[in-house]
Amino acid sequence: MHSDPKAVDLKTLEQLARTLRYRVIKTSHLSGTPHLGSCLSCLDLLVYFYWQILKIDPKDARAADRDRFILSKGHAAPALFQVLAERGFFPVSDLENYGDDGSLFGEHPPTPGYLPGIEAATGSLGHGLPMGLGMALASRISGKPYSVYAVLSDGECNEGSVWEAAMLASAQKVSNLTIAIDYNKWQATGRSNEVLNLAPLGDKWRAFGWCVSEINGHSFEEMQKAISDNKDDPRPKAIIANTIKGRGVSFMEDDNNWHYRTPNAEELEKAAKELGIAA
């Protein structure tokens, strides 16, 4: 469908995001895969990176100078799988066995050798940023010019390894690393600013020496501005993406029950209607 990213304007991206949201919800309904709220909150970020930013070729998924994208919040893999399929890394029909015994498609990404487009088998939080930092440093050491992008969750910033990586990236003046934090204000069992004291999140990253922008994480225009405004900044870059968990479906939005709940047939139909998808 939209395999040539150059041809895609932001309006078309919005329609694409709605379609992918529906597929993620439907898959959750059919396979019982959880973390729906987490998938819907970062889906716009994934769409933007994959259709507007990443220099990648699905036909040459392991090219040495490709940009790398890591979904550090690995539990949103159901969203990533839909994005990768739609972007042409593998046929959308491959996702038909989602969650079956022996399927590659479950709650977290498999290792890169098992699925084109995957750069890191995340799922344990706090791993994606250090690995991405290693890849970004490798670009400099080996003289292959590419950039590394990662999406982290706000709950993930509980992990000490995130801040270890933040300090090294800043000390090493790594400029080809950009992260977006899916700041949906929830983690598994509570508000992310209450479980551990996360706020002020932007200031924390600034204090760690990063170039920070704070945006609406569902606005492609604001993503575009955050990326282009800071593209020449020599520091590592953090986009604090203010998002809504469960975004796109009224009865899922900002309701943390959808961290683990999966929709029934009636809810799927309702979601389709809200998203404007003919189910």
Partner 1 sequence: MRNAFADEITKMAATDPRLVLLSGDIGNRLFDKLRAQSPERFMNCGVAEANMMGVAAGMASAGLRPVVYTITPFTTTRCLEQIRVDVAYHNLPVVIVGTGSGLSYASLGPTHHSLEDFAIFRAIPHMQIVAPYDAPSLRAVLRDALAGKKPTYIRIGKKGEKDILPPETAVGIGKSVVAREGRDICILAVGTIASEAVKAADTLKKNHGISPEVVLINTVKPLDTGLLDRLAAKFKTVLTVEEHSKIGGFGEHVASTFAQKGIRNQIICMGTRDEFMHVVGSQEYARTVYEIDAPSIVKAVQQAMTTASAAE
In the list 21, 26, 127, 259, the residue contacting partner 1 (rule: CB under 8 A) is 127
Q: Tokens for 7? A: 């041809």
Q: Does 135 help bind partner 1 (rule: CB under 8 A)?
A: yes
Angstrom distance (rounded) from CA 150 to CA 165: 13
Q: Does 207 help bind partner 1 (rule: CB under 8 A)?
A: no
Q: Does 7 help bind partner 1 (rule: CB under 8 A)?
A: no
Angstrom distance (rounded) from CA 128 to CA 149: 10
Beta strands in 113-189 (DSSP E): 148-153, 177-183, 186-187
Asked if residues 68 and 1 have their Cβ atoms less than 8 Å apart, the reply is no
Asked if residues 192 and 156 have their Cβ atoms less than 8 Å apart, the reply is no
Please count the residues of this chain forming the interface with partner 1, following the rule CB under 8 A: 34
| Closest to partner 1 by CB, 47 or 165 | 165
Q: Tokens for 177? A: 């690393």
Angstrom distance (rounded) from CA 220 to CA 178: 16
In the list 40, 84, 165, 275, the residue contacting partner 1 (rule: CB under 8 A) is 165
Q: Does 138 help bind partner 1 (rule: CB under 8 A)?
A: yes
Q: Does 83 help bind partner 1 (rule: CB under 8 A)?
A: no
x-or-dash string of contact with partner 1, 91-120, rule CB under 8 A:
--------------------xxx-----xx
Q: Does 234 help bind partner 1 (rule: CB under 8 A)?
A: no
Angstrom distance (rounded) from CA 46 to CA 59: 19
Q: Does 164 help bind partner 1 (rule: CB under 8 A)?
A: yes
- Contact positions vs partner 1 (CB under 8 A): 64, 68, 111-113, 119-121, 124, 126-127, 129-142, 144, 160-161, 164-165, 167-168, 171-172
